[in-house]
Chain A
Amino acid sequence: MNSHGVPSRRSTGVPGLDLILDGGLLEAGVYIVQGPPGAGKTVLANQACFHHAAEGGQAVYITLLAESHSRMFGHLRRMAFFDESMIPASVYYVGAFSTLESDGLPGLLTLVRGIVTKRSAGLTIIDGLVSAQETAASDRDYKKFLHELQILADLTRCTIILLTNAERQSGFFPEHTMVDGVLHLTDELSELRPLRHIRVLKLRGSAPVRGLHSVRISDRGIEVRPRLETRLSPGPFEHQLASGPKMGFGIPELDVMLRGGVRNGSITMLLGSSGSGKTLFSMQFLAEGLKRGERGLFFGFFEHPDAIVAKCRRVGINGIAEGIENGLARVVWHRPVEGVIDEIGESLFDAVREMNPARVVIDGMQGFERAADLPERLSDVYSAVAQELERRQVTTLYTTETRALFERDIHVPINGLSAATQNIILLRHVEHKAAILRALAILKVRDDDYDPRMREIRVTDDGIRLLDTLADASHLMAGGGVAGAEQVPRQER
């Protein structure tokens, strides 16, 4: 207890887990961590032990019918948290199944009491609780055992974590009623993709972040990524565009079309087909900010940043490399492979919080899609991203790709973010006078005037220019165009 009578909490040492546990596990609390084999129970428990030991505490790991200690150590040795020098002085492993076999639950309880008090343990793990349940003559005996563990935890101020398999034929878990919290780990396949999650089923005296959260197990140990939707900056959200001058692109013709640029703090979608110039326009947007002394963040997935910077140099978009070098610009790049959407989103939030940029470019919003564990979450994730960026009054430009080079109907593939998008600029290939050109049109600028006319894009050695060469064309948006005012119904062509 602290001086205000509020129970103290122990950090688990598992990144992200304390966040969803309202600050950590209660001192003297008894918790169940359940899940199928391979879900990460053992890693989580060992990581908590070594973290507790690193903070100066004593941890005890008691195994029932679980893997042998030498096998366990063999698996844990590659984990960054595993520090063999802490064993046995600060982290102590004992096997208790023989005692359980010979002396039943009373014998096991005596063993646990003895080792916890002898070592003044602040954290104790009992791995393989299902063996204890199977040994119990009745549910009542099993509950009695758990009750006595609670008394032990209370007297010694030791936090006890019980690891058990979640599979139960009866579907009834008498132990759930007896403990302070239940954490459920899962390891499932979604089509070919492995997905690990953690969920807080019960947490007495706390306000957990409910629902599923992603779990990653690597050489760093186990990490929990709380759902991005729950990781927004504190405080009420009221959308209000920041004041201040407009944010121009530094492309004279485009800035005129936008009446000076996009509004400070707004979100702009740069929508276009592959090769239409989205990345160059977004880099130009950043370069213009750098020229004005504004911080800029590039957050990308597909094209490697080095290649992008080199390409910018070739077409006269300067200042990016220098900006990175002097700290005014930062590049965060994630490989477009399977990832954890919450991890990617968190890295965006972290970068924005750390460098407080005036301009952010997210190049390829589909990168989030590829990392999504559950497709139905995308809309909420995008809303969270938009809300966080708006809350921090960052002027954001994100690119997203249309599926076809030429198409009559343009689909905006981003649900959840489009509602928060104030401006939409379309880049696309068009057919004009037997030539394939790239064209730009502003589709939407919220609460502001703009020039709706389409312009041809020319990428020159001196940067991007927009030309008024399409003024007499029609039907370009439908994928083809004819010169002059002649209107040709689509079906006749």
Chain B
Amino acid sequence: MMSPAPSILIVEDEYGLAELLRDMLTERGYQITLAINGRLALDVLREREIHLVLTDTMMPVMDGSELARTMRSDDRHRRIPIVMMTSLAAAVPSTTGLYDAVLAKPFTPDALLKVLEALARPLE
């Protein structure tokens, strides 16, 4: 039996980027859900199974690091891989403790797919 397509939650407040990522990853067979801030992302996590969270850093209401800290302290979400997207090159080394991977914006589709292929898989 084929395993279901990995489900990815994209948390991004910048209009256009989230939609682009959704379209690109849907074409590759991923199931995509969008949220525009960390608070809405937590709502999604409570409602459906997510295999990887791809999150921006700076967002209104709840930012990426607060989302990651909340997930890491919650037994239900602790093991879900989190990939941070950031425009800040300086932020990459300092925040790796919270995240499983960091993508510096702008990144290429190949770089993103490589990370997703390595980390996004249904939990056992």
Contacts and interface: CB of A to CB of B under 8 A. Distances in A.
A96 B58 contact: no
A431 to B, nearest CB: 70
Nearest to B89: A84
Given A87-B58, A114-B60, A94 B13 contact: yes
Contacts of A62: 60
Interface of B is mostly: loop
Interface in A252-297: none
Contacts, number: 64
B61 A88 contact: no
Given A70-B105, A102-B36, 12 more contacts: A68-B17, A69-B58, A70-B106, A84-B90, A87-B88, A87-B91, A88-B91, A95-B14, A96-B13, A96-B60, A101-B15, A115-B61
A115 B88 contact: no
Nearest to B107: A70
B60 A65 contact: no
Nearest to B14: A95
A68 B61 contact: no
Contacts of A114: 60-61
Interface string A54-92: 000000001101001111011000000000110110001
B4 interface: no
A68 B60 contact: no
Nearest to A100: B15
A94 B59 contact: yes
B88 A84 contact: yes
Interface string B51-83: 000000111110100000000000000000000
B87 interface: yes
Nearest to A62: B60
B16 interface: yes
Nearest to B64: A88
Interface string B1-21: 000000000001111111000
Interface string B85-109: 0011111000000000000011000
A98 B87 contact: no
A95 B105 CA distance: 15
B58 A92 contact: yes
Nearest to B87: A70
Contact of B36 (A68, A71, A87, A98): A98
Contacts of A73: 87-88
A99 interface: yes
B60 A88 contact: no
Contact of B58 (A68, A71, A93, A111): A93
Contacts of B58: 69, 87-88, 92-94
B64 to A, nearest CB: 9
A97 B15 contact: yes
Contacts of B91: 87-88
Given A84-B90, A98-B36, A69 B14 contact: yes
Contacts of A95: 12-15, 36, 59
Contacts of A102: 36
A340 to B, nearest CB: 33
A61 B18 CA distance: 19
Interface in B19-57: 36, 57
A64 B32 CA distance: 24
A126 to B, nearest CB: 12
Contacts of A111: 60-61
Contacts of A94: 13, 58-60
A280 to B, nearest CB: 56
Interface in A84-140: 84-85, 87-88, 92-99, 101-102, 111, 114-115
8 contacts: A63-B14, A95-B13, A95-B15, A95-B36, A95-B59, A96-B60, A99-B13, A102-B36
Contacts of B63: 88
Contact of B18 (A70, A71, A98): A98
A228 to B, nearest CB: 40
A215 to B, nearest CB: 27
A63 B12 CA distance: 13
B98 to A, nearest CB: 14
Nearest to B106: A70
A63 B36 CA distance: 13
A404 to B, nearest CB: 59
B55 to A, nearest CB: 13
A152 to B, nearest CB: 14
B88 A98 contact: no
Contacts of B12: 95
Contacts of B13: 94-96, 98-99
A229 to B, nearest CB: 43
B87 A69 contact: yes
Contacts of B18: 98
A1 to B, nearest CB: 29
A101 B16 CA distance: 12
B2 to A, nearest CB: 33
Contacts of A85: 90
Contacts of A70: 87, 105-106
A295 B60 CA distance: 59
> Which residue, B12, B60, B90, has most C-beta atoms of chain A within 10 A?
B60
B81 to A, nearest CB: 22
